[in-house]
Amino acid sequence: MKRYFVYLFFYSFISCHLSGEDKVYNSGIHIIPEPLQLEVRQGVFPISNSTTLSLENGDWEKEASVLMNKLEEASGYKLSFSDSSSNNCIRLKTNGNLEEEGYEIEVDDKQILLSAATEKGMFYAIQTLFQLLPAEIESAKPLKMGLSVPAVKIADHPRFSYRGVMIDVSRHFFTVEELKKQISVMAMLKLNRLHLHLTDNQGWRIAIDKYPQLVECSAVQETYNEELYGPCYYTKEDIKELVAYAGRHHIEVIPEIEFPGHSLSALVPFPELSCSGGPFKSEQVFGYEENVFCVGNDSVFTFMENVLTEIAELFPARYLHIGGDECVKRYWQTCPRCQALAKRMNLHPTPEHSVEEQLQSYAIKRMERFISGTLGKRMIGWEEILEGGLPEDATVMSWKGTECGAKAAATGHDVVMASMADGLYLCAAQGADEVEPAAMGGQSCLKDVYEFEPLPKELAPEKRKHVIGTQACLWSEWTPSGELLEYMLYPRTVALAETAWTTPEKKNWDDFLRRLENMQVRLDLKGINYHIPLPEGELTTNKVFTGDSVILEFKNSRSLPMVYTVDGTTPNMYAPSLPERLVLHQPCTLKVCTKTANGKLSPIRTINIEKQTPIPAIQNTCNGQIHLQLANGLFKDHSDYTKAVYEKDTIINSFAVYNKDKFDFKTPGLACYSGEIEVPETGIYTFKSNADELWIAGKLLIYNPTSSRFYEKKTQIALEKGLHSFALLFSNRLKEGFASCWYPIDFQYLPPSGGEWIKSN
């Protein structure tokens, strides 16, 4: 809510100083995705209270209402209907020669002509028309400006028929209203598929009448932090509301029910459907899970058929997603039922596939027959459904890269490219790990998504028709809130939209960035919390100097301007511009952020600039031993750490002696490792660790009580050559779904002269 009022103040402020027509971001044509053909002509068409609407040789009432409602909300103008001969008219006309999602727009000073063959095409024509108007057309309040449309001629249709976004609502749940908000943006960008990942190990998020135990047991999760997550799930009425809303925006909602792996949420209430028999617990634990459906048990298929029957009734989409990925088959190897099935089917290992992979193929094919034959849907699944062979009608979602998708297309399967290797996993960080929120390992920057090419070069021309589109995926382990969900989705989803719609020869990165400035204003007016690149280059939480001055050099992934302050105040759009080399002579609190062309600021980085005298070394002999103290209980933050009562006190020779394998997050506790390190030279050292606290020479350098996966903080300190004390605090617990004991317990430091990072003992 606070962020919303900041947006409101910001746009109210600049609106007092500039009219919509004068704002730089409204100059020129800024349509995203870029149309196939665009001709800019002389003149404009002014929209006024006397502008009329004509519906010609077609039933365009629904589309006309979209146009009329938006114009009335933004301007107060109420368009009336007229015949086609009127001037000052917006005409909606049928052109049966256009493609299903294609449209044409022709604007001069007397009329606007929108032509399409279908409702989808006309809807997209109207979305483009809105983007020809000032960005403020997206405001929920009436505008105090005139509205005019530049004279243009546009002929457009999409490159791919499938243009999608996947949102994982299992790991973290998002409400119907939060999803509607994303649908409205997707429609503006001409995206047409919303793939909902409804079930996984961590949660079952949709009510099934035949099995009420699914949401009773698996819509709420244990977090091992003295609280529960949930209950969170969609009722059938929720789904009907969401599907209807998406339908009005010409977006198909594709449900995914995971099978046969990623299925723990189904096994919690029904352990008899597993190989081991359970019992199982519903937990918000993001990690590896070996318990999966038992494919040798016919009751599993009865269960899935009953579930999918109810799912198919709720979702009118052509596709039904079966998952099929990352199925751990260890239990199948020793399960009597699974092995009996393999024996009856006379399965034997082949050079290409194990017996268990062939069992998965059997299970997937059996489900495909039910989905296509009984439900009349088309099955889609992650690329692992190819293991052992697949029916021709199944569609493959290629997620690891494009290689598997290319192979599937070459054999006649339709393919959706959702390549993690090419940046389409939007749970990856959008910049340096040290400055961005905790995320999946690796990076996916805006340009990576924009430059992704869904058609593999090695695919024969006659097989390219089988690549039906592309999709970005947002796995929600790292997005516990709707605000963070949007931060990860946008603007990368904007880039995806152009990749999915626009032909490669029409794409231009620099021009996309220009058009993005206008789109970001539209996102602001829709209340979207999109990502702005943070200042990088200097990646430590502080900057230490020992001489007369220190030099800092920052950059960001889109070469946007940056602003800063050195007096501890919060920078605003009028703060001093950051030079290429910032020279500081005094200790201070530096606050720096990136600024977009319309004055919007990124999150602020705070870096303490410290002048230090190297801390003297300890006059002692280093024996290399570590003092280890252990306390039982849940310790969440520094105030908890200070209250620890250590129950075990021992000496170990290295961190390796008592490391992550000694801990179980279900039995939380606190470990304090202390000792000495010997540093090789005098100067400024950089330390890094994902530990909860790291103290060097009596100073707290690193404090990180939140999720630290792929998120090692870095801090500097000036030390004299020789021995210095250290203390590392490790809180063994589940942090935002990730167990801290899954990662090595240690720290590293970089000497003043550089070179390799030195690992702690």
Which residues belong to the active site? 200, 262, 326
Spatial distance between the Cα atoms of 531 and 487, rounded to a whole number of angstroms: 5
One-letter amino acid for residue 497 of the chain: A
H or E stretch including 41?
strand 37-47
Angle at 468 between CA 101 and CA 472, to 5 degrees: 95
The SS3 call for residue 601 is: strand
H or E stretch including 487?
helix 482-489
The answer to whether 45 and 110 have CB atoms below 8 angstroms apart is: yes
Evaluated on CA atoms 369, 370, 375, 377, the torsion sign reads negative
Tally of CB atoms within 10 A around 313: 11
Q: Which residues pair with 221 in a beta bridge?
A: 229
Radius of gyration over every alpha carbon of the chain, rounded to an integer in angstroms:
29
Spatial distance between the Cα atoms of 77 and 52, rounded to a whole number of angstroms: 10
The answer to whether 494 and 519 have CB atoms below 8 angstroms apart is: yes
Spatial distance between the Cα atoms of 358 and 360, rounded to a whole number of angstroms: 5
Q: Which residues of 408-441 are buried (b: 16+ CB within 10 A; e: fewer)?
A: bbbeebbbbbbbbbbbbbbbbbbbbbbbbbbbbe
Nearest to 438 by CA among 751, 107, 46, 711: 711
The answer to whether 144 and 18 have CB atoms below 8 angstroms apart is: no
One-letter amino acid for residue 475 of the chain: W
Place of tokens 């016919």: 298
Query: Distance from CA of residue 466 to its chain's centroid?
Result: 26
Which positions ≥6 away from 9 have C-beta within 8 Å?
none
One-letter amino acid for residue 419 of the chain: S
One-letter amino acid for residue 11 of the chain: Y
Structure tokens at 418: 């959702």
Long-range contacts from 371-376, C-beta under 8 angstroms, 24+ separation: 371/308, 371/320, 371/322, 374/305, 374/309, 375/308, 375/309, 375/312, 375/320, 376/312
The answer to whether 660 and 689 have CB atoms below 8 angstroms apart is: no
Structure tokens at 636: 């969440």
Spatial distance between the Cα atoms of 666 and 651, rounded to a whole number of angstroms: 25
Q: Is 113 exposed, middle or buried (0-12, 13-18, 19+ CB in 10 A)?
A: buried
328 HSE (CA, 13 A, CB side): 14
Query: Distance from CA of residue 98 to its chain's centroid?
Result: 34
Nearest to 289 by CA among 352, 171, 202, 188: 202
One-letter amino acid for residue 209 of the chain: D
